[in-house]
């Protein structure tokens, strides 16, 4: 009897080498086409949660932003530091829902949660949304993507709908400004994505 308990990061350390090659085979613009027009101007404080091999963090740094990249899997962080060498990215070992390390560097004008949310349980998603909302600066932007489709062996994923996520964000004062669907950039059979963007209102307006 297999009693292995899967966590949000299960399977990533073992596959880090292959994932580094996969993740870096596509560009930031290819993955986030639908929300590129929403990105803040250069000089923003950016938090990339679940940054993997740093593809998105490096692209955002190249656009002139100061980036804090959070990744709980040590093997992926090692690849990120090797592939993307820049002084404008701070690499941190942390994860949702607690996410304690980025506090002293925030609040953030842009928070990116790409290909992470579906790894979290319902309770973790509730706590995570509260945490992310608290880290956003007034007028800040949250980009969040949801994976739908077959779950790879050895990973923990849940089917999370865009509707649920939009409602959860609304309960924390975040308004949805983009809801789109996209194909899988790696052309995996049956996999598709929901691409969401939210803004936090200015405190004086709320």
Domain boundaries, the chain: 10-35+45-65+101-150+158-173+183-206
- Pairwise CA distance, residues 89 & 44, whole Å: 12
pLDDT at 133: 97
Least confident of 13-17, 38-42, 155-159, 195-199: 13-17
By CB atoms closer than 10 A (0-12, 13-18, 19+), residue 153 is exposed
Residue with more model confidence, 8 or 67? 67
What is the pTM (predicted TM-score) of this model?
0.92
Which CATH number does the domain 10-35+45-65+101-150+158-173+183-206 belong to among 3.40.1350.10, 2.40.37.20, 3.40.50.150, 1.10.10.10?
3.40.50.150
pLDDT tens per residue, range 106-144: 899 999 999 999 999 999 999 999 999 999 999 999 999
Structural contact between residues 7 and 156, judged by C-beta atoms closer than 8 angstroms: yes
Report how far residue 20's alpha carbon sits from residue 18's, in angstroms, rounded to the nearest whole number: 5
């Amino acid at each position: 009897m297999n009693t292995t308990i899967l966590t949000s990061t299960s399977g990533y350390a073992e596959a880090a080498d292959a994932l580094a090659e996969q993740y870096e085979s596509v560009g930031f613009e290819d993955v986030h086409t639908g929300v590129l027009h929403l990105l803040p101007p250069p000089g923003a404080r950016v938090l990339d949660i679940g940054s993997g091999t740093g593809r998105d963090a490096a692209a955002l740094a190249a656009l002139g932003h100061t980036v804090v990249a959070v990744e709980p899997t040590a093997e992926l962080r090692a690849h990120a530091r090797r592939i993307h060498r820049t002084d404008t990215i701070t690499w941190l070992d942390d994860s949702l829902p607690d996410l304690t390390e980025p506090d002293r560097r925030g609040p953030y004008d842009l928070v990116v949660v790409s290909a992470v949310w579906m790894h979290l349980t319902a309770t973790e998603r509730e706590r995570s949304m509260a945490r992310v909302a608290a880290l956003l600066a007034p007028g800040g932007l949250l980009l969040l993507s949801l994976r739908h489709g077959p779950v790879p062996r050895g990973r923990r994923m849940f089917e999370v709908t865009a509707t649920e996520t939009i409602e959860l964000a609304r309960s924390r004062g975040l308004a949805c400004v983009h809801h789109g669907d996209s194909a899988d950039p790696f052309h995996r059979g049956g996999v598709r994505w929901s691409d969401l963007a939210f803004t936090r209102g200015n405190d004086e307006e709320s």
